[in-house]
A and B are shown apart, each in its own frame.
Chain A
């Protein structure tokens, strides 16, 4: 047997420490509070009472190892039969098959009717999945709403642009990149979409929707910081590394006389992460 009085004093001291820390916590709080001190005091208070309680159980309580029978969980055949008789016979379930069947149907119908309002939580996805705010003639503006001018952007640099009127728009965010025009290898059908080496792609990754925020000028690729999908700017933002499965949609743009840019229509494809009916937007 251990030295009981000494352990009793130790445990009493621990409980006292908890009480003291609790009061100190109150003082700290009234004086204006301080997160680190609060956390420490609370921690010490809880640790002391926890330790005290465990010591009490371990050292001072008589908690012998005991044994008891483990009874089988399954009911006896007699009990089970009695239960089943009460459940089905007395309620008449076995005789009234039709009624039981219809009761189940009634509950199913009622359940469905009660579950229907859950559909009100969201609208059905409509055309907005396939379109953005870009229209033919939308001017390219910066986040502050000011138009971007051709001279503002040095070669091999990138800027985030939006359609005039909706700066900050989530689904219309676009990257305007300036590359040496002779290096561009776009699809011939898109030759006119990138005047003087200015090319515009959706900023929303086609993988999981993160903003494709990194441009590596050395090999002219866009990299999504979330999952490292890498897109070749010179080749229509085709995915060349990482998990993205399709190019970033391209925005056809024109350079006006005054040095500003306008869109020549919406993106080439739906923007953002791919979805199952992605191509159904083409046929209307």
Chain B
């Protein structure tokens, strides 16, 4: 290999230049890295939402690995003899005991556990906001339908990862959640009972349950998610990012160009900063704001239940659906349709099915099959705006309905009256909000067309 006139020879050479020069002489990576560093990314604050999701995932993996060193995925009974007085000498599962030790006896253990849980909460929240940005600006339109589907898959995986994660401590609250999950799985048409036995390892509560969910939570789901995230980002990279019409500064954004900053150093430094700031917020939350205090709930006992009992926020809508469900349970020709079937299986399937297929539905209805690199402002597609606003309202009302017992106490009304009110609101309010959003969108678009 002959010496090349690289930066190594110049007097301004730095250690970094020498290192990359050494590597490039052996791999030729600079040729590829050059185009990577020069990649152009459009700049808008809302494009950072997806990055927050990615950073939460990184923090989840880092803190999660720490937690695995201390967690025992074992339901065998042990006697708690740790430093938390109210539970001393209580019979708890080895899993619950290990979470207690992690929280009270391992240095920085509680901090890591709480950062992990907070990161999960923010992770799903950031996904939802990111999806809203994608939806309302029409970023999912051709050619980005594949990435929309990958994203929907990742959202569902995130929900399951959250559920399997907060079930692991084997406390009273999560045990109740698992009991409900088992019932929901059993409501899958016909194969439900078999499916539930397959997932839970037998009749609820089986001794294998925590071990099962541990494997799901730390192996299968993270593996699927890292694969999905990789595909998501590769497609983003090769298709190039969308951009808002108007552009930045003097350069006008068009369908045929990309207006933005180079990946290096502008984007990388900003993103790195965003990573640290996301981590900072999670660290402060994890240190100062208590989350999932399992010692308050106590160990899981099948015949006991805590009230009120709410899941993590991102499954509140399902809880609301379960609470609002009608008490219909017909038996036809010897087949019983469980009352959970409608609220827990049919409605989520329709909503998430429509959500996943939305790019194709919209293209079919509008007849618009062109490529779109320029985003729309939400009011530029009023029907989409109305439907999106309606669906969001639907989920918000359901989430509130999932806390109807808490709300009833707070509002000083009977939980029965509140449930009846929610049954009406969950149908009426999404329609009203959807129509109002659609109307406002139409008005705004007309004003813009005239102006």
Contact = CB atoms under 8 A, between A and B. Distances in A.
Interface string A28-53: 01001101111110111111011111
Interface in A49-76: 49-54, 56-58, 61, 63-70, 72-73
B108 A129 contact: no
Given A122-B194, A246-B329, 15 more contacts: A39-B284, A40-B287, A40-B288, A43-B287, A57-B269, A65-B250, A70-B240, A119-B198, A121-B199, A207-B339, A208-B184, A208-B340, A209-B204, A213-B307, A228-B323
In this complex, the member of A42, A63, A210, A273 whose beta carbon has the largest number of chain B beta carbons within 10 angstroms is: A273
B304 interface: yes
Contacts of A72: 371
In this complex, the member of B43, B192, B258, B280 whose beta carbon has the largest number of chain A beta carbons within 10 angstroms is: B280
Interface in B323-360: 323-329, 331, 334-340, 343
Contacts of B227: none
Contacts of A227: 319, 322-323, 325
B279 interface: yes
A162 to B, nearest CB: 8
Nearest to A171: B203
B408 to A, nearest CB: 9
A125 interface: yes
Contact of A208 (B180, B205, B260, B337): B180
A154 B236 CA distance: 69
A39 B288 contact: yes
A239 interface: yes
A244 interface: yes
Interface stretch (B130-138, B152-160, B270-278, B375-383): B270-278
B415 to A, nearest CB: 6
Nearest to B373: A70
Nearest to A37: B287
A102 to B, nearest CB: 30
Interface in B54-108: 107-108
A276 interface: yes
A109 interface: no
A51 B193 contact: no
Contacts of B326: 243
A110 to B, nearest CB: 21
Contact of A66 (B183, B261, B286): B261
Given A40-B288, A214-B307, A279 B334 contact: yes
A250 interface: no
Interface in A227-284: 227-230, 239, 241-246, 272-280
B202 interface: yes
A161 to B, nearest CB: 10
B274 A54 contact: yes
8 contacts: A36-B287, A45-B280, A57-B266, A227-B319, A242-B327, A245-B327, A273-B182, A277-B193
Interface residues of A, number: 82
Contacts of B303: 143, 160, 162, 168, 170, 173, 203, 211
A61 B265 contact: yes
B111 interface: yes
In this complex, the member of A32, A35, A38, A208 whose beta carbon has the largest number of chain B beta carbons within 10 angstroms is: A208
B413 interface: no
B302 interface: yes
Contacts of B193: 125, 129, 275-277
A92 interface: no
Contacts of B329: 245-246, 274
Given A38-B108, A51-B277, A226-B176, A213 B304 contact: yes
A35 B201 contact: no
Contacts, number: 278
A117 to B, nearest CB: 12
A32 B107 contact: yes
Contacts of B17: none
In this complex, the member of A39, A121, A276 whose beta carbon has the largest number of chain B beta carbons within 10 angstroms is: A276
Nearest to B250: A65
Nearest to A211: B305
A209 B259 CA distance: 56
Contact of B327 (A45, A213, A243): A243
A63 B238 CA distance: 22
A225 interface: yes
A122 B197 contact: yes
A42 B307 contact: no
Contact of B305 (A44, A119, A226): A226
A43 B190 contact: no
Given A35-B110, A43-B284, A242-B327, A207 B340 contact: yes
Nearest to A240: B327
A43 B203 CA distance: 44
Contact of A50 (B184, B239, B255, B276): B276
A182 interface: no
B122 interface: no
Contacts of A211: 302-305
Interface in A188-221: 203, 207-211, 213-214
B318 to A, nearest CB: 11
B261 A46 contact: no
A1 interface: no
B340 A273 contact: yes
